[in-house]
């Protein structure tokens, strides 16, 4: 159930914004492979944003449920792969934040 929100600063040139959109399928493959989830379980969205000039132009927030094999090193490695993938697509700095949700308080309706 990885939920990935990609905030893209609207000041980013159109070719770099296109690079983010084109990176979605490979990004989903990276995430699904690392977390051992089906493609249908992975939700990705690109959200337009307006940020300050000293912030990364792309900010990625990832929320996942815990599993025993999702250790800190595994998740750190995944965050680095995601960061590199999108940074390569936009040729600019990218921020990544990954949160593990509390399954006792998490509710999902589909």
Contact 95, 56 (CB under 8 A): yes
Q: Is residue 31 part of a domain?
A: yes
Q: Is residue 110 part of a domain?
A: no
The model's pTM:
0.93
Q: Counting every residue, how long is the chain?
A: 110
Q: How many CB atoms lie within 10 A of CB 43?
A: 14
Q: Dump pLDDT digits (tens) for 29-78.
A: 999 999 999 999 999 999 999 999 999 999 999 999 999 999 999 999 99
Domain of residue 33 covers 3-100
pLDDT greater at residue 108 or residue 10: 10
Task: Give me the pLDDT at residue 27, please.
Answer: 96
Give the 3-state secondary structure of residue 97: strand
Task: Give me the pLDDT at residue 87, please.
Answer: 96
CATH number at residue 20: 3.30.429.10
In the beta sheet, which residues pair with residue 6?
A: 46, 60
Q: Is residue 105 part of a domain?
A: no
If one counts the domains in the chain, the total is 1
């Amino acid at each position: 159930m990885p939920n990935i929100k990609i905030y893209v600063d609207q000041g980013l040139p159109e070719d770099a914004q296109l690079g983010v959109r084109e990176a979605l399928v490979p990004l989903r493959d990276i995430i699904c492979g690392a977390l051992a989830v089906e493609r249908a379980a992975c939700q990705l969205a690109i959200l337009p944003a307006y940020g300050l000039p000293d912030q990364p132009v792309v900010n990625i927030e990832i929320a996942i449920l815990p599993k025993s094999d999702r250790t800190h090193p595994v998740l750190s490695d995944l965050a680095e792969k995601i960061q590199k993938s999108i940074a390569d697509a936009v040729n600019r700095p990218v921020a990544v934040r990954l949160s593990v949700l509390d399954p006792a308080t998490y509710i999902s309706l589909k």
